[in-house]
Structure 1
Amino acid sequence: MNGATTGDVRTAPPPQDERRSKLFRKTLVTVLVATGTFFLTNVLTPDAAEQWQWTMPVIVGSAVLIMQYLVDFGERLEAVEESQKRRIRGMRDSLADHHREMRSAVDESFAKINAATELFSQVDRSVLRSDGVTRLARKYTQVGEHGSEIVKRFAQEEIASLALLMESLSNGTADCPGENHEWLIDLTACTKKTLYATSTSVDRDFWSSGPGKRYLVAQGDAIRKRGVEIRRLFLVDSPDEITEALRKLCERQRRYGIDARIVDQSELDSAPVTSVNDFIIFDGELCYEIEPDVRATPTKTTLKMTADHVLERIERFDDLWEASSAE
């Protein structure tokens, strides 16, 4: 609002031509009425004094002029009142809109606060640790306040990926392109009881890589620090694949405390299940599986937690374990 809404209300002055026109009309009407009165006085009172004959036209003309200004003033007053009413209505509507906007903003803010409070209440009630979630939220806001644009975008992408992973885990399965070594090592660090794994020709080169060495170290820590039982079956399709290099790989894993064995699927009573991918069963509750393409290259990593699927993998592993040999 400006000063025009709080001070005296003034109407815009009429144009110069219009003011002149109104003044001319008032003057003309006054002259005509005074002239008419003068002639009428002379006709009706011819014997009256000359002073009276001139006084009456002046009085009547003055009255007519005053009446015209009063009518004009009344019209202007009505226009001012109407303008003031419109302005008051506009201010009332503006205040009402502002009130609605403020109320909407307050309601939205309280809704966000309630949602955040409910969210953190659920986190506190969850069996999962809540300190990590709180730390994640706090650090995410700090990145938003102080990070560069590319850092902010990167943080948003990582949060979106983490949210997608949590959503997938809540539905019982999660996957990602390629072979996710971080999942593999983190799951090993979380294992408390058993880790049963199969290994085919798809991941032979993995064991000499950096992630493969880190994976072995994580398994050794799980055995020493938490008493985890780890079994690994190296699956081959024929005796020709049982090479000296494969025997040395088994021996190396045994030095970490892993019970490593070789299974020749061609000697099994049943036909080899070539469609079974590399899989790892963590604590009998979760399966980590690798799906290769036609060139035996890992194309997707899948985490599956459904009870039926995990049980089927456990039974498959037990069958292969019974047919294994410690080369």
Structure 2
Amino acid sequence: MNGASTGEVRTAPRTQDQTQIPKLLRKTLFTVLVAGGTWVLTSVLNQDKNQVWQLTVSVVLGGAALIIQYLVEFEQRLETMESGHKKRIREMKDSLAEHNAQMRAAVDESFAKINDATELFSQVDRSVLRSDGVTRLARKYTQVGEHGSEIVKTFAQEEIGRLASLMESLSNGSADCPGENHDWLIDLTTCARKTVYATSTSVDRDFWFSEPANRYLKAQEEAIKQRGVEVRRLFLVSRPEERTESLERLCDRHREFGIDARIAVRSLLPPRAQVTPLNDFILFDGELSYETEPDVEIVPAKTLLKMTRQHVEERVSRFNVLWEATEPGGPDSEPEPSTASG
């Protein structure tokens, strides 16, 4: 169906030539009117009836009217172009200002990150800690981010977050983690340079028959032989009947690694040692205390690292009291085997 049958009225778009014709026609008609009016006026004013003069004046004024129309149109177009040009300049200025602000913000953010990184690595360099490990960690972490899979990236982020939390805790003087952390135990033994003083209660008896215990004993043996670290261990029991043959064999095994191991029976200790609570702790170089907290089933439920001066000094004093009360020949001990190292 066509437009006529449906009642629709369709208007063809007006082309540029069609819009130009009315303007030209208006200019022509206005020019003819001016020329005609001039001819009529000069006919009235010219008493000599000089038609040449009349025609000349009519043509001149008609031409002047036509020129004035074009000048007015040119001025309008010029004003339109000028306003459009000003608008484009204003938009360009606004765009440049916005772009400049974005670039400035990006540059400021980049320089802030650079300053933070520079300040961070400057602090690392000024620190008494070794900085090569931090640099290697940062470099390898970025490489994991570039080439690792999503699960590897997530795992790396979790490990970095855990390490950052540990560093934050250590800077505050204490750290903890669920369960018994054997990695901390072995790493601290590897780091010890002077002494390792430890107590061992029934809470960790099963630990000595595990694979981490073998690595722990070997780390202590290495510390004794290679760095001259003095390692002492007190096996604490409450009653004499708890000093079993298996505990004696365990104590002898420790001596085979060069550890000065002894057994302390709480009920046989002098009064000044009996008031000392019995629990598991390990003192590294007299500066850090590694401790475990048992749960209701007497299983290590939490590991603590404490570095506060007052706490470590209290642990050192407690260990010395117990150690002095269990010297060979004391009331609570039987003569030690000849294989004892001191």
Aligned residues: 314
Match runs of 1:1-327 below 5 Å: 19-20=20-21, 22-45=23-46, 47-268=48-269, 269=271, 277-324=279-326, 325-326=332-333
Q: Which runs of 5 or more structure 1 residues have no equivalent in the other structure?
A: 1-13
Q: Deviations over 1:269-304 (max 9, x none)?
A: 265655x54111000000011112112222221111
Q: Measure the CA separation in 2 of the matches of 1:298 and 1:238.
A: 22
Query: What is the match of residue 5 of structure 1?
Result: none
Aligned-partner Cα distance in 2 for 1:305–1:19: 94
What is the deviation of 1:103? 3.8
Find the aligned partners of 2:19 and 2:267 in 1 and give their Cα distance: 112
Aligned residue type for 2:59: V
| TM-score normalised according to structure 2 size | 0.82
How far has the Cα of 1:180 moved from its partner?
1.0
Deviation string, structure 1 residues 242-289 (Cα, Å, up to 9, x no partner): 222222111111111112222222344265655x54111000000011
Deviation at residue 27 of structure 1 after TM alignment: 3.8
C-alpha distance in structure 2 between counterparts of 1:67 and 1:187, whole Å: 100
The answer to whether the Cα contact below 8 Å between 1:287 and 1:310 also exists between their aligned partners in 2 is yes
Instruction: Please list every run of 5 or more consecutive structure 2 residues that lacks an aligned counterpart in the other structure.
Output: 1-14, 327-331, 335-342
> Mean alpha-carbon deviation: is it higher for 154-163 or for 110-119?
110-119
Q: SS of 1:37's equivalent? A: helix
Q: Structure 1 residues 320, 15: CA separation in 2 closer, same or farther (over 3 Å shift)?
A: farther
Whether the 8 Å contact between 2:276 and 2:318 is mirrored in structure 1 is: no
> Which digits, 9 at most, give the CA deviation of each residue in 1:48-101, with x for residues without a partner?
234444443333222212211111111111121222222223333333433443
Q: 2:145·2:153 contact (CA, 8 Å) conserved in 1? A: yes
Letter matched to residue 279 of structure 1 = F
**Identical-residue share of aligned pairs (%):** 66
Structure 1 length as normaliser, TM-score?
Answer: 0.86
CA distance in 2 between partners of 1:58 and 1:205 (Å): 126
Root-mean-square deviation over aligned CA pairs: 2.6
User: What letter matches 2:311 in structure 1?
Assistant: H
Range with bigger deviation, 263-272 or 154-163: 263-272
Instruction: Provide the C-alpha distance between the structure 2 equivalents of 1:295 and 1:198, rounded to a whole number of angstroms.
Output: 20
- Helix, strand or coil at the partner of 1:127: coil
Contact 1:260/1:326 (<8 A) preserved:
no
| Counterpart code for 2:30 | V
Asked if structure 2 preserves the Cα contact closer than 8 Å seen for 1:290 and 1:300, the reply is yes
Offset of 1:19 from its aligned partner? 4.5
1:141-172 deviation per Cα after TM superposition (whole angstroms, max 9, x unaligned): 22222222222222222222222212221111
